[in-house]
A and B are shown apart, each in its own frame.
Chain A
Amino acid sequence: MQRSTLSGIIPLLLMLATSEASAHAMLDHAEPRVGNKVAAAPHEVTLWFTQKLEPAFSTIIVTGPAGQRVDVGKTSVNDSQMSIPLRSGGTGTYHVKWHVLSVDSHTTTGNFTFQVGQ
């Protein structure tokens, strides 16, 4: 086999060994619902995704109207569902920022808001 042929094949083998096939976990819906208003501060935020999640690397951060963190404890993941307990942060706009790793190792991030108050 000629050296030029070998030099072409080696990177090709490297490619086959390192290429990473992956898929996105997209947010399907949430509770409280994305962009909606609820009368009282919820005790937790729950997100449902379109793919199974990897628990170790999937997180939710929730900030209250004053920008303070209101999520408490650990994010719990069950299949394609993820939730986190909240403490009350008063009325106003809450920001939810999520970061998930689907079981086939692709990360996705996103964010949305919901309102608390009458």
Chain B
Amino acid sequence: MSIRLARAGLSGLAIALIALSKSTAHEIVGNRFFPATLGIDDPGVNDELAFPTVSSFKTGDDPSFRERDLSAEFSKRITEDFAVSIAPTYSFLGRPGGPTGTGANGLQNWETTFKYRVYKNPEHEFVMSVGLSVEWGGSGVASVGADPFNTYTPTIYFGKGFGDLPDTFSWIRPVAITGQFGYALPGRNSTTSFGVDPDSGDATVDTEFHPRVLNWGGTIQYSMPYLKSAVVDLGLPDFINHLIPLVEANLQTPVANTLTSGTMTTGTINPGVIWVGNTFQVGIEALIPINRQSGTNVGVIAQLHFFLDDIDPHGIGKPIFGNATQPTKLFAGN
């Protein structure tokens, strides 16, 4: 067998092995439903549409200004365990933001993420995926901060539910954690700009180094649906039984090529709540900056998120290579 033939056979076998695993609509592992989270990506691979996601916060710049973002994300499964997503964001920068200090608005760079679910253990409610995100340099508007170069971020995602704890810890069984660790690699090490000092008239050279950044974060969630069905049915109103209160951490730490950026970690802690239905979810969280460099006051983010694999399992919600997924009803009724 030639090397070329062996390669073709192996790639085909890999595709077949991928598809032997059972599929489910949105990310359910055992009895655990992992919702789509607003700050970091969830550990699952699904057909879904998050639109709109809106946020408002005051940036960590000096002087600070208000930034409002409107974004969307569309994720499409190619196979049961492999998906590609695209995510545009439109930003509105208030005064004194933007290059002229009078505010600016426009598209940020488009982002594409390739994500593959590598492991799923229903008994222990554990799931892990790997991905590569590409921010396409130059696809956005420079005045809102879009870089002219690509940035590549390989990322690991995981989720773990605690439903396998013994009865002694039954009240902790509705808890789940998720996390992600990504390493952002800018396609360019530095950018040098030339100018003229307005006071002296001398030529100036300004070099900005683009750091490699660890994008990391996690969530801790308490699932009211899980509490009702597996720990104690408190007879709460139906609305409450659809809620998942959670706290997210979304952090960035420059770790290399940090000459001009410094190494300070920035990011936000986001307490909030997600209401989950059978075909969509709604989430809202506060954005609490962890330091001055991360923002100057508490912001807010909200999202409407559709489970396309449940809304249209034989159409747009069907993997391109693979069978349609039956809709998963998390709750009785419609």
Do the beta carbons of A7 and B326 come within 8 Å of each other? no
A118 within 8 Å of B (CB atoms): no
A112 within 8 Å of B (CB atoms): yes
B329 within 8 Å of A (CB atoms): yes
Do the beta carbons of A21 and B331 come within 8 Å of each other? no
Do the beta carbons of A34 and B233 come within 8 Å of each other? yes
B89 within 8 Å of A (CB atoms): no
> Could you tell me the distance between the alpha carbons of A53 and B243 in the complex, rounded to whole angstroms?
26
- Nearest CB of A to B285, in Å: 25
Task: Determine, out of B22-30, B245-253, B295-303, the stretch whose residues face the partner at the interface.
Answer: B22-30
Answer whether A35 and B233 are a contact pair too, CB < 8 Å, given A20-B323, A106-B22.
yes
Do the beta carbons of A50 and B15 come within 8 Å of each other? no
> Could you tell me the distance between the alpha carbons of A18 and B18 in the complex, rounded to whole angstroms?
11
Answer whether A15 and B22 are a contact pair too, CB < 8 Å, given A50-B330, A110-B229.
no
Answer whether A24 and B24 are a contact pair too, CB < 8 Å, given A11-B13, A19-B322, A51-B329.
yes
The residues of B that contact A7 with a CB separation of less than 8 Å are 5, 8-9, 12
- Nearest CB of A to B304, in Å: 22
Task: Determine, out of A25-33, A54-62, A66-74, the stretch whose residues face the partner at the interface.
Answer: A25-33
> Could you tell me the distance between the alpha carbons of A35 and B80 in the complex, rounded to whole angstroms?
36
The residues of B that contact A10 with a CB separation of less than 8 Å are 12
> Could you tell me the distance between the alpha carbons of A21 and B314 in the complex, rounded to whole angstroms?
11
Do the beta carbons of A5 and B8 come within 8 Å of each other? yes
A111 within 8 Å of B (CB atoms): yes
Q: Contact partner of A27 among B8, B28, B229, B327, CB < 8 A?
A: B229
Count B interface residues, CB 8 Å.
Answer: 44
Do the beta carbons of B22 and A20 come within 8 Å of each other? yes
- Nearest CB of B to A79, in Å: 11
Count A interface residues, CB 8 Å.
Answer: 41
Closest Cβ neighbor of A14 among chain B residues: B16
Q: Contact partner of B11 among A8, A14, A27, A51, CB < 8 A?
A: A8
Do the beta carbons of A12 and B330 come within 8 Å of each other? no
Closest Cβ neighbor of A19 among chain B residues: B19
Do the beta carbons of B321 and A23 come within 8 Å of each other? no
- A residues 54-106 with Cβ under 8 Å of B? 80, 104, 106
A9 within 8 Å of B (CB atoms): yes
- B residues 159-183 with Cβ under 8 Å of A? 167, 170
Closest Cβ neighbor of B229 among chain A residues: A27
Closest Cβ neighbor of B13 among chain A residues: A11
Do the beta carbons of B16 and A106 come within 8 Å of each other? no
Do the beta carbons of A29 and B228 come within 8 Å of each other? yes
B290 within 8 Å of A (CB atoms): no
B64 within 8 Å of A (CB atoms): no
Do the beta carbons of B329 and A50 come within 8 Å of each other? yes
> Could you tell me the distance between the alpha carbons of A21 and B309 in the complex, rounded to whole angstroms?
11
The residues of B that contact A109 with a CB separation of less than 8 Å are 30-31
The residues of B that contact A34 with a CB separation of less than 8 Å are 228-233
B205 within 8 Å of A (CB atoms): no
> Could you tell me the distance between the alpha carbons of A80 and B28 in the complex, rounded to whole angstroms?
19
A39 within 8 Å of B (CB atoms): no
> Could you tell me the distance between the alpha carbons of A104 and B22 in the complex, rounded to whole angstroms?
11
- Nearest CB of A to B15, in Å: 6
A43 within 8 Å of B (CB atoms): no
Q: Contact partner of A111 among B4, B9, B25, B230, CB < 8 A?
A: B230
What 6 pairs between A and B have smallest CB-CB spacing? A35-B232, A11-B12, A11-B16, A15-B19, A23-B326, A19-B19
Interface on A for B, CB 8 Å cutoff?
A: 3-5, 7-12, 14-16, 18-24, 26-30, 33-36, 48-51, 80, 104, 106, 108-113
Interface on B for A, CB 8 Å cutoff?
A: 4-5, 8-9, 11-13, 15-16, 18-20, 22-25, 28, 30-31, 79-80, 167, 170, 225, 228-233, 235, 313, 321-332
Q: List 30 A-B contacts (CB under 8 A).
A: A3-B5, A4-B5, A8-B8, A8-B12, A9-B12, A11-B12, A11-B13, A11-B15, A12-B16, A16-B321, A16-B322, A16-B323, A18-B16, A19-B20, A21-B313, A22-B23, A22-B24, A23-B328, A26-B225, A28-B332, A29-B229, A29-B233, A33-B233, A34-B232, A34-B233, A49-B332, A106-B24, A110-B31, A110-B230, A112-B231
